[in-house]
Amino acid sequence: MANRVNHRKKHEIKTTYYDKFQCLASECPITCCKEWKISVDEKSSKKWNDTRWSDHRETEYIENAKTKKLSEYLIHYKEADVICLNEKKECPFLDQQKLCKLVLRYGDQILSKTCREFPREIHEFKDRREYSLAACCPAVVDFWRDTQDVLDKEAMEKMESDIKNNKERHLYQLRMLLISCLEDQKISIEKALLMGFYLLLEGKDGRVSYQKEELEELSQAVDEMDFQIEDTFLEDNALFLDMTENYWKQGIYRIFLEPLREEASRMETDDGYIENEFMQEYGKFLKVYRDQESLLRKYLIAEMFGQLLLDDYDWQDMTVAMQWIGMEYAIMRQAAFLTFKQTGTLSYEQMKEVIVYIARMTGYDDADIWEYLEESFQTLIWEWGYFAFIIGNRKGE
């Protein structure tokens, strides 16, 4: 008997704005074609090896182009091919109108998978496919400003009942539980993250469902804890300096980083700052930061949907991903404060810039995240206390 081919179409779940995405191209304020490692997959790399960049008038922008193959614009970095950026740290194929010369010359099919797909993230599971958009693109942040809901909750719940594998369903439900904490507008982002991380640690042995009263008790317990806002601030300042240091040394994101790192370094070494100015300045900052709360909530929900669960993940992977999201948020909030301190304002455009740049700088792959955590914290999984330390709680603002 002939083998039966399974033609069953995979279920699909997407963030609500996924299909509306369009690259801003020449209108993009923070193009992804510069200061960025643009990887070129093996298939594209082979194609580039057979493609000469020699017979087109656009070549006048590229030095020695007459003798080069496209593959000669690649360098090997961490076992992958990446495009070698020019001295302005831009992709050599970016033209003066901020358009891609390769697309203009050869069409989309010449692009590497990264360039073709960015900022789309597609996660394949056995019986479903999940689609989201990464925070590293300003057009995606605009969706969070303009969209009411990041996720279609009904579709998410329906999908849950279709997951047959127990382990996979457990992780799926844990992710839903964490997202639902953030969707509750009555609690602050900080408290939602603290509750979520607690529930995730408790979920190691399989627990995912809680009565309303139990969650209220947890919320109250978090409120009754004593948080030292100054200590959280200093730790987040150190995390900001640490996370941005390599980029700074390599001369990447200089325009964004220079004023912020200057402030952060000054505050780190000025013993009197916390005692004399901090509380007053931080109080003013929190007032304007509150205006960005809805945007940041949607950013976090989208991050949790896109980053907490991949096909081969177990509880440990999900917990590491949650810690990374928490740390990313703490660094973003710190960068927002530094921006406010520098300019006296925190507009939507400024917050968007902070989200995009910090997301790019913290956008490590899993192996690098594990290495960073093990080297910096000597442990992969944090205690709840450290997560709470870097996030803090804004109850008394």
> Can you give the binding site for ligand SF4, defined by CB under 6 A?
23-24, 28, 31-32, 118-119, 137-139
CA angle (245 as vertex; 244, 251 as ends), nearest 5: 90
CB of 119 to ligand SF4, least distance (A): 6
The amino acid occupying position 237 is N
CA 301 to chain centre: 11
| Cα→Cα distances 145→22, 142, 149, 150, Å | 16, 5, 10, 10
CA dihedral sign of residues 296, 297, 303, 306: negative
Listed residue (271, 264, 272, 266) closest to 238, CA to CA: 264
CB of 120 to ligand SF4, least distance (A): 9
Whether residue 126 contacts residue 311, with contact meaning beta carbons closer than 8 Å, is answered with: yes
Specify the residue for token string 């979920």: 203
CB of 91 to ligand SF4, least distance (A): 10
Q: Residue 315 region, left (φ>0) first, then alpha (ψ -120 to 50), else beta? A: alpha
CB of 222 to ligand SF4, least distance (A): 36
User: For residues 86 and 173, which CB has a smaller minimum distance to ligand SF4 in the complex?
Assistant: 86
User: For residues 255 and 367, which CB has a smaller minimum distance to ligand SF4 in the complex?
Assistant: 255
Instruction: Say if strands 39-40 and 80-83 run parallel, antiparallel, or are unpaired.
Output: antiparallel
Residue 210: strand, helix, or coil: coil
CB of 31 to ligand SF4, least distance (A): 4
User: For residues 41 and 90, which CB has a smaller minimum distance to ligand SF4 in the complex?
Assistant: 90
CB of 29 to ligand SF4, least distance (A): 8
User: For residues 65 and 359, which CB has a smaller minimum distance to ligand SF4 in the complex?
Assistant: 359
User: For residues 138 and 392, which CB has a smaller minimum distance to ligand SF4 in the complex?
Assistant: 138
Q: In sequence order, which residues have a C-beta less than 8 Å from that of residue 171 and are 6 or more positions away?
A: 309, 313, 314, 315, 318
CB of 137 to ligand SF4, least distance (A): 3
| Cα→Cα distances 299→68, 266, 303, 323, 375, Å | 42, 30, 6, 15, 28
User: For residues 253 and 337, which CB has a smaller minimum distance to ligand SF4 in the complex?
Assistant: 253
User: For residues 32 and 369, which CB has a smaller minimum distance to ligand SF4 in the complex?
Assistant: 32
Give the DSSP letter of residue 131: E
User: For residues 306 and 392, which CB has a smaller minimum distance to ligand SF4 in the complex?
Assistant: 306
CA 50 to chain centre: 35
User: For residues 118 and 329, which CB has a smaller minimum distance to ligand SF4 in the complex?
Assistant: 118
CA angle (228 as vertex; 338, 256 as ends), nearest 5: 15
CB of 28 to ligand SF4, least distance (A): 3
CB of 304 to ligand SF4, least distance (A): 21
